[in-house]
């Protein structure tokens, strides 16, 4: 039973560029959530996808957008990258209910 | 963004000692989760709590959902070197699956 997978593991971009992240949820899960974790802090909720739509959103600008595909995988995009976007981006999958979320290993994004 | 308050921020203990940490919030949560994160990896779920007052164990770990629904506690008994890592609490409010994380407690175990 495969857990949550994310790719790539590391990314280096420059300011102003765009980045796309990828996540495949745990088998049987239909909901994908994304979190940003800055160094030394707890993860912060970005948004959540269910039935191919954004169901809930945290306090992040419109530069952060994404998709969920029919196979429940998800690809968020971040446009016009800023230095402050450097962080570990975590994908978590769950069923629509209950609330327990399982995390992938993350993608480390560095913006230069 | 909002983060829950965890204490202590870090602790350095001897192998074999028991460890206690807690998480508090000004808001009520319907679910409390405890995760452990090691360097370069995603958080790993340790314990999930769904009802106020609930006490749940997972091996040497025991967690409790506070009666007020504004706090939670995690205890680790007889710590071992592989317990090293950062422990995060996370709360879930009703009506959504968004996790609000704590500030983390870093645990270091001395042999």
Share of chain B above pLDDT 90, in %: 82
In this prediction, residue A77 carries a pLDDT of: 97
Could you give the CA distance from residue B107 to residue B99 in angstroms, rounded to a whole number?
22
Q: DSSP states of B3-70 as a string?
A: -BEEE-SEEEEETT--EEEEEE-SS--SEEEEEEE-TTS--EEEEEE-STT-EEEETTEEEEE-TTSS
Could you give the CA distance from residue B44 to residue A27 in angstroms, rounded to a whole number?
17
Q: What mean pLDDT comes out for the span A17-41?
A: 95
Mutate to test the interface with A, among B9, B36, B50, B98 (most CBs of A within 10 A): B98
In eight-state DSSP terms, residue B82 is: G
- Chain A positions touching chain B (beta carbons under 8 Å): 4, 6, 31, 33, 35, 41-45, 48, 55-56, 58-59, 90, 92, 94, 96, 98-106, 108
In eight-state DSSP terms, residue A25 is: P
In this prediction, residue B93 carries a pLDDT of: 79
Q: What mean pLDDT comes out for the span A77-84?
A: 97
| Two structure tokens written together for A58 | 């945290």
Q: How many CB atoms lie within 10 A of CB A75?
A: 15
Determine, for residues B42 and A44 on separate chains, whether the beta-carbon distance falls below 8 Å.
Answer: no
Element (H, E) at B71: strand B71-76
Is the per-residue pLDDT at A86 higher than 60? yes
Confidence band of A100 (pLDDT split at 50, 70, 90): confident
pLDDT tens for chain B, 111 residues: list them. Answer: 677 999 999 999 899 999 999 999 999 999 999 999 998 899 999 999 999 999 999 999 999 999 999 999 999 999 999 999 999 999 987 666 789 999 999 999 887
In this prediction, residue A98 carries a pLDDT of: 56
């Amino acid at each position: 039973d495969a857990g949550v997978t994310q790719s790539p593991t590391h990314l280096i971009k420059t300011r102003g560029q765009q980045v796309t992240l990828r996540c495949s949820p745990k088998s049987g899960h239909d909901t994908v959530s994304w979190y940003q974790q800055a160094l030394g802090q707890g993860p912060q909720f970005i948004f959540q996808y269910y039935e191919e739509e954004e169901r809930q959103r945290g306090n992040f600008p419109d530069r952060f957008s994404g998709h969920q595909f029919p196979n429940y995988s998800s690809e968020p995009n971040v446009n016009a990258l800023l230095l402050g976007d450097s962080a570990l981006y975590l994908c978590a999958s769950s069923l629509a209910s209950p609330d327990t979320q399982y995390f992938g290993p993350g993608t480390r994004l560095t913006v230069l | 963004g909002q983060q829950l308050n965890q204490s202590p921020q870090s602790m350095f203990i001897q192998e074999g000692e028991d460890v206690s940490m807690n998480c508090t919030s000004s808001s009520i949560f319907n679910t409390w989760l405890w995760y452990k994160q090691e360097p370069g990896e995603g958080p790993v779920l340790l314990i999930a709590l769904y009802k106020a007052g609930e006490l749940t164990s997972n091996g040497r770990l025991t967690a409790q959902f506070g009666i007020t629904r504004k706090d939670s506690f995690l205890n680790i008994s007889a710590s071992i070197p592989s317990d090293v890592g950062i422990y995060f609490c996370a709360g879930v409010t009703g009506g959504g699956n968004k996790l609000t994380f704590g500030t983390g407690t870093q645990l270091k175990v001395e042999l």
